[in-house]
Amino acid sequence: MDKKRVKDYMTYDVVTVGANETAKDVIDKIQKTRHDGFPVVNDKKEVVGYISARDLLTIHPGTPVERVMSRHLIVADPEMSVNDAARVIFRSGIQKLPVVDENNHLIGIISNADVVRSQIEHVSPEKVYNFMDTLRRLHSIEPTLSRGFVPIDQLLPTQAKIYEDELEGRIYEIKKGLAEPLIVVKRPGRYILVDGHHRAIAAKRLGYKTLDAYIINVAENFELGMERTAHAQNLRNLDDIKVMDYARHPLVAVTHRLVRQS
């Protein structure tokens, strides 16, 4: 995560409010953009505050923004790590951090959603070693670990579907050089994709031939359980993976169901 910086995940096109505008102007922008708050800037484009929808409750529409905005402003530096930005966001309860340069000029904004997106499919050494331990216990083998590039068109997928919204995030990360390595099992004549199906499809769409991976080497020539599962799902290569739209994501489906029941 050290290589992931705020500047790589922040939104650059930011809607702002002028300090000399009124509460009505802010309400109009909320209705137009559906945003729940905006950084407030002065005539020099310096960030001087933040105003949210809740600041406007019981406020007269003609009230100047500078009278109701929050001046207790927490901002982020573009070179700040995403981890540090996440700590500030979640500990302070603030949903969005304006990102400013050394002159306090607004250059972007990073939200809790951006932080979550940066963490999706995060590969940790613990995940790799835990999987190797599982192989040891299940098959009484001693796999070894290496790091290198694997051919994308030779990967055997073990996941039948992925989601378009997460795929878009992985494409963005690859373009920025931020993609995490895959986790792959290499056994004689076969590369088995364990983790990183969204990243693999994203790389394929971008025309990549190889991708960085943690390679778990298995010398023994026998079929692993995950291979049998892949064959049962008729998975032979990445083209067999179904890309689902956002509306069919299980988290979205659960949310919709809960809303209907409430």
Put residue 14 in one of left, alpha, beta given phi > 0 → left and psi -120 to 50 → alpha: beta
pLDDT in tens, 188-244: 889 999 999 999 999 999 999 999 999 999 998 888 888 888 998 999 999 999 998
Give CA separation, 57 vs 60, 65, 68, 247, in Å.
9, 13, 10, 33
Domains 6-118 and 120-251 share a fold: no
184 confidence band (pLDDT: 50, 70, 90): very high
Question: Could you say which of 3.30.70.890, 3.30.70.100, 3.10.580.10, 3.40.190.80 is the CATH number of the domain covering 6-118?
Answer: 3.10.580.10
Question: Where are the domains positioned within the chain?
Answer: 6-118, 120-251
252 confidence band (pLDDT: 50, 70, 90): very low
Q: Report whether pLDDT(262) > 60.
A: no
- Helix, strand, coil percent content, the chain, rounded in steps of 5: 40, 25, 35
For the structural domain made of 120-251, what CATH number should be given?
Answer: 3.90.1530.10
Q: Report whether pLDDT(257) > 60.
A: no
